A and B are shown apart, each in its own frame.
Chain A
Amino acid sequence: MNKTLDQKQNFLKGIIKENPVFVMLLGMCPALGVTSSAFNGLGMGVATLFVLLMSNIVVSLIKSQIPNKVRIPAFIIIIASFVTVVEMVLEAYIPFLYEQLGIFIPLIVVNCLILGRAEAFASKNNLFSSVLDALGMGLGFTIALTALGATREILGSGSIFDIKFVGEDANTFILFILPPGAFIALAYLAVLFQRLTPKTS
């Protein structure tokens, strides 16, 4: 009973209590850089979720084989391999998204969230916990990016997932799809997130 509760906690922590973007401030570059629309945010979130999940699985399976001294380079190679896979798959099957995300796809390698989970969690826990951890953290990241993307798209282009809900010549806050809008939207979303989550202390 207690064990299943722990696992549930393990999964949920990434979404709310330790949300990578709003609480831990990890992976801020893609969070700000690609979220000019909800779809881009979702695409980046899912790509990161995939790499995080695969790297957590591999790291947790071979953790006893990796000498402690070279563990960080080893983790980086594992992560970089999966990023290359994502890069190739996106280029082949979703070229539109590949164009939109651009430089931020290879940069998934240096997303501190992924290396952070490999080092802090997967290298110390068993496969099942690591999978749950990756799913929770990845979903938290995806939700945050989609929320930020949606906010910016609604305010900046008057649409959501490319479905327009204002007239063609309506005035929207263009600022929000420009770079400054990313910082400003994230600032207010972070305040909102803090306000809405229950305090643990």
Chain B
Amino acid sequence: MEYLVILIAAVFVNNIVLSQFLGICPFLGVSNRISTSIGMSGAVLFVMTIATTVTYLLHQYILVPSGLDYLRTITFILVIAALVQMVEIILKKVSPPLYQALGVFLPLITTNCAVLGVAILALGLENGSLLKAVFFALSHAIGFSLALVVFASIREFLELADLPEGMKGVPINLLVAGLLSLAFLGFAGLV
């Protein structure tokens, strides 16, 4: 039950993009095609879950016992950067088709603040455990994917829309994101 609440809260109520504003860069950057948005979602799902697992263990068993909690930001970002590189190398070797699908998105993920954000947020969970933190990351990644894919499918229609000159490009995308966020606001109070 507790896990169901985490899932629903992360995907709908506190959607990471639309209500917490993390990962806006890939949200606006790679959402012009549904296919690319699915690729990006896959890469984020993968990296976010692994990164949170590693940073959670690191924080719990190394940083906290040795009183180095204040180095959190530095260590986490380094771990994430190294991890992304490692995942890239391993995927290339182990599963070329998956690498083909996710490859171009992996380097972009280091600067995706959603990954670092979720890793930090996972530390603040009530009665936290490793399993819970990993599930928390997974749920947020699903929320990210949902927002990204829905947004991309709306943007594909926008290409055909007749817009005033000034609204073209960034402003209309932000407006659409705003309306999408408004729709997600309807889930508030669900859990």
Residues of A within 8 A of B (CB): 25, 28-30, 32-33, 72-73, 76-77, 80-81, 83-84, 87-88, 103, 106-107, 109-112, 115, 175, 178-184, 186-188, 190-191, 194-195
Interface centre among B81, B111, B116, B167 (most CB of A within 10 A): B111
Contact of B116 among A25, A73, A107, A190 (CB under 8 A): A107
Chief secondary structure at chain B's binding surface: helix
19 extra A-B contacts, CB within 8 A, seeds A183-B178, A191-B166:
A29-B21, A30-B21, A32-B24, A33-B20, A33-B22, A77-B78, A80-B77, A80-B78, A103-B121, A109-B73, A110-B77, A110-B113, A111-B113, A112-B111, A179-B18, A180-B181, A184-B174, A187-B171, A190-B170
Q: B73 → chain A, closest Cβ, in Å?
A: 4
Q: Which residues in A have their C-beta under 8 angstroms from that of B74?
A: 77, 80-81, 84
Contact of A73 among B23, B78, B111 (CB under 8 A): B78
Assess the A106–B78 pair: CB atoms within 8 A: no
* Docked pose: A87 CA to B73 CA in angstroms: 10
Interface mask (B158-191 → A, CB under 8 Å = 1, otherwise 0): 0000000011001111110111011001000000
Chief secondary structure at chain A's binding surface: helix
Assess the A76–B77 pair: CB atoms within 8 A: yes
**What is the size, in residues, of chain B's interface with A at 8 Å between Cβ atoms?**
40
Decide if B36 is an interface residue (CB 8 Å cutoff).
no
Q: Which residues in A have their C-beta under 8 angstroms from that of B173?
A: 187
Decide if B72 is an interface residue (CB 8 Å cutoff).
yes
Decide if B19 is an interface residue (CB 8 Å cutoff).
yes
Decide if B91 is an interface residue (CB 8 Å cutoff).
no
With known contacts A28-B28, A84-B71, A180–B174 Cβ distance under 8 A: no
Assess the A109–B116 pair: CB atoms within 8 A: yes
* Docked pose: A28 CA to B177 CA in angstroms: 13
